[in-house]
Amino acid sequence: MEALSDYMRLARAGAVMLRHDVVIPDAYRSRMPWAAKFAGGFLRVLPGSGGKGRPGQRFAKALEKLGPAWIKLGQFMATRPDVIGVEAANDLSRLKDSVPPFPKSQAMKTLREQFGADTDRLFPNLSDPIAAASVAQVHRMETPKGARAVKILRPGIERTMELELRAMKRIAYSAQNNGPAEVKRMEPAAFIDTMARSLTREMDLRFEAGAASEFGEIAAIDNYVYAPSVDWERTSQRVLVTEWIEGRSLTNPGPLSADERIDLANRITRGFLACALDHGFFHADLHEGNMILAPDGRLVLVDFGIMGRIGMNERIFLAEILKGFLERDYKRVSQVHFEAGYVPANHSMDDFAQALRSVGEPIFGKDATEVSMARVLLQLFDITRQFGMHLRPELILLQKTMVQVEGVARSIDPSHNIWQAAKPIVDRWTKREFGAEGLKKLAVTAAREAMARLRRLPDTLAKLDQALERASEPKEPAVVVKRTSGWGWALTGFAIAAASAAGLWFVLIYQP
């Protein structure tokens, strides 16, 4: 019954995507296996509508129709421009997650389930819903210490997510095990598993509260951006309460002078980069709707559901790359990539430096309005494919967010130059980390790591000795199981077809 339920969900998803011309458009059908072509031809008997716009825009509209889990799928895919392309990632990052609110009475029921007898004391004057999305909605409340924003999970959202994710996993694993080589290379099963783990954390608002609190502490050091404080007494698994922020979203910031626009754009870029470089923690969903310009001039970030982390090695890598590009030292940038192991050793360091020069040189000496970070990033992803590179997911998320940051900054100040804005942050970081104090700290860290490895050495040698003993033991003859054809293959074919209908082929069809 679970399988039937899953396929019915996927059939519905396929029908919606077909109507938005996402499933196997005519221009791409020749690239698909026969099962996908059959599925596309069969589903085309349904009337089509909503087929306008770029592929990513059509896909985003289809996901909006399908509900919370699919919207989250789109948002998660938007973090992988290396797979689906920069343009499609930008389209998916603008997904509109807006649905009718659930009644205030249901919100109060959730509060009573979470806080019991303390509900009336903690939530004495909850407003009607102010904003509603597929996963949660927001209310306002007054307290003796000021106004609060109250975010409450939608009733039954956990079960809805569970069922939709189960269907996605079924198709992803079928595609991974039985699909063509191009699909297997995309690792759809690992992709859905990672998304499922992320969504599990999102269904517990305490994780978001922790992220908001941590981000607020590190953002306060430079004061480029601000995060609302968390009201921990009123926060639980299904409820998140923060201070209420008055202001205007950057989708419509209101009238600003030229100097104010320049300052605001610089704060957007430097606020992001300072948190990422100095602390290895950054807001990874920086669209205009998640930025509020407060009346006192503060730039406030909200919605901490998608965050990114990078370790010290990745921060050194990022700083070296930015510094190398700023100084046009392409050989150093190439060397950093090889030292980090991101470029296979069979490639030439000089050839890679030459490829990087082809990206960097055209943008220098040009006005910022003539240079697109998105285009530069697309060229860099082309190079990663040509040189067989495999970048870490957190670095890809960071690069994607940089493109997002540039887009928002330029919407405020069209002349904004992200490289010039980044320079003070990069210079400050490299001076601190590679100066005398930084090198001393690095030496202490290296010594601690060496001692830790030394303490583990006896245990490691013992395990190695056990493994060698097992390897020398005689082996039982292998049992060969012969695969049979029949219904198993038929279901596999249907699974691959359904995967196409569910829109998972979008990654393959529209990859750059």
pLDDT tens by residue, 95-105:
777 778 999 99
Q: Which amino acid type is present at position 106?
A: Q
Please say whether the beta carbons of 98 and 132 come within 8 A: yes
Active-site annotation holder among 285, 329, 427, 465: 285
pTM of the model: 0.75
In tens, the pLDDT along 6-47 reads 888 888 888 888 788 776 555 555 555 555 556 555 555 555
Place of tokens 């097992």: 470
Percent of the chain with pLDDT over 70: 77
In this structure, what are the phi and psi dihedrals at residue 241, rounded to the nearest 5 degrees?
-120, 125
pLDDT of residue 508: 44
User: Is residue 285 flagged as an active site residue?
Assistant: yes
Helix, strand or coil, per DSSP, at residue 257: coil
| Rounded distance between C-alpha atoms, residue 316 and residue 241, angstroms | 36
| Rounded distance between C-alpha atoms, residue 86 and residue 436, angstroms | 40
pLDDT of residue 58: 86
In this structure, what are the phi and psi dihedrals at residue 140, rounded to the nearest 5 degrees?
-115, 150
Closest CA to 80 of 506, 400, 510, 505: 400
Name the stretches of the chain with pLDDT < 70: 23-51, 82, 182, 185-186, 365-375, 377-378, 391, 435-454, 457, 461, 471-512
Instruction: Please give the structure tokens belonging to residue 382.
Output: 């082309």
Instruction: Please give the structure tokens belonging to residue 301.
Output: 């970030």
Instruction: Please give the structure tokens belonging to residue 306.
Output: 């998608």
pLDDT of residue 7: 83
Domain assignments of the chain as residue spans, ordered by start = 2-98+158-199+498-509, 254-434
In tens, the pLDDT along 259-296 reads 999 999 999 999 999 999 999 999 998 988 899 999 99
